[in-house]
Amino acid sequence: MYEAVSGALREVYRRERPGSVLDVGAGDGLTLLPALGAQRCRVGVVEPSAALLAETVAGLERLGVVHESWQVTAQDFVAAHAGRWDVVQSSFALQSLCEADKREVLSWMCGHASRLVLVEFDVPEVVDVWDPVWFFDCVARVERGLREYGADRDLVGVGFVLPVVLGKFSATSPPANHEVSIVRWRELLGEAGFGGIRVRRVADYWWRPAYVVEAIGSS
């Protein structure tokens, strides 16, 4: 799946020839670094995890890419920065934001990006995570997904299953995961002021299909 997403990002870079790219929620660079290839542009990375950010920065240094990095959340970044970027991208990161924070971050992106490239899963609306039909489907998907991995099983478990899938469940605090459908993402982008919204499916995954959503900002 990450190879497919990197390929989709690489296609955007080749088509748009951006002079600057900002990756919000870059993680350890699994989608960003392979996509850059020989592309030479100024790159910014926003990632709250010090360990993951260090891996991305090390990768950018190996590639010889001019870069900046910020160890902050997306919300803190947009509250403090006013720069403009040719491409702002985010892969499987904005699902962690609640609805209000999604609106705030997307509004900032619209005003500071020529183009947004958003990669997210298309998920159905979940009214109750404890509903037996949804719950047992979730368990079956996780089991099927983990069976696909050998040496990478722990990586997928810690990096995806815990924060994304199990992030939906919480008995004492708000959930850590707020995935929405691609239809809802389109609505949020339109409300933020984006135009020219295009959607395409890029990968089938055991959790849900992944889509790339491109949109034109007002910057």
User: Which pLDDT tens digit goes with each residue over 25-36?
Assistant: 999 999 999 999
Cα–Cα distance for residue pair 68/50, rounded to 1 Å: 14
Instruction: Please tell me the class of the 2-123+179-216 domain.
Output: alpha beta
Residue 98 pLDDT class (50, 70, 90 cuts): very high
> Is 130 buried (19+), middle (13-18) or exposed (0-12) by CB count in 10 A?
exposed
Cα–Cα distance for residue pair 79/105, rounded to 1 Å: 9
Residue type, 168: K
Structural element, H or E, at residue 16? helix 2-16
Mean pLDDT of the chain: 88
Q: Where in the chain is the domain with CATH 3.40.50.150?
A: 2-123+179-216
Q: What is the mean pLDDT of residues 140-151?
A: 74
181: helix, strand or coil: coil
30: left (phi over 0), alpha (psi -120 to 50) or beta: alpha
Cα–Cα distance for residue pair 102/42, rounded to 1 Å: 25
Which residues are CB-neighbours of 19 under 8 A, at least 6 positions away?
41, 42, 86
Q: What is the mean pLDDT of residues 135-163?
A: 70
pTM, two decimals, is 0.85
Reply yes or no on whether the pLDDT at 50 is more than 90.
Answer: yes
Q: For the ranges 71-85, 97-111, 129-143, which has the lowest average pLDDT?
A: 129-143
Cα–Cα distance for residue pair 195/186, rounded to 1 Å: 10
DSSP 176: S
